[in-house]
Amino acid sequence: MGFPGTWMTTSQSVVYRVVPKCACSTIGQIMYYSDHGAFFEGDIHDANTGMHKWALPDSQPLIEQNVKAHQSYAFTCVRNPYTRILSSFFDKICGIQRNGNRYRGNLVPLLIQKYGIEVGDPDNGFEFDQIKSFRRFLLFARDTIRWRRPMEPDIHWSGMSGHIATLIANGGRYDNIFWTETFDDGMQNVLNAIQTPHPVDLAKIPRFNESEGHGPKRLHPVADYFDDLAIHLMYEIYKKDFNLFKYDASDPARKMPTAEIDLDEVHTKLRD
Share of the chain above pLDDT 90, in %: 86
Residue 37: per-residue pLDDT? 97
Residue 120: per-residue pLDDT? 81
- The tens digit of pLDDT for each residue in 100-141 reads 788 888 899 999 999 999 988 777 777 899 999 999 999 999
| CB neighbour class for 250 (10 Å; exposed up to 12, middle 13-18, buried from 19) | exposed
Least confident of 123-137, 155-169, 215-229: 123-137
Question: Which residues touch 170 (CB under 8 Å, ≥6 apart)?
Answer: 1, 2, 3, 67, 68
Residue 249: per-residue pLDDT? 98
d(CA 225, CA 220): 8
- Report the 10 Å Cβ neighbour count for 136: 18
Least confident of 98-112, 216-230, 255-269: 98-112
Question: Which residues touch 199 (CB under 8 Å, ≥6 apart)?
Answer: none
Contact 155, 17 (CB under 8 A): no
User: Is cis: bond before 150, omega within 30 of 0?
Assistant: yes
Q: Assign 211 a pLDDT band (cuts: 50, 70, 90).
A: low
The domain spans of the chain are 6-80+156-204, 83-154+215-237
**Amino acid in position 272:** D
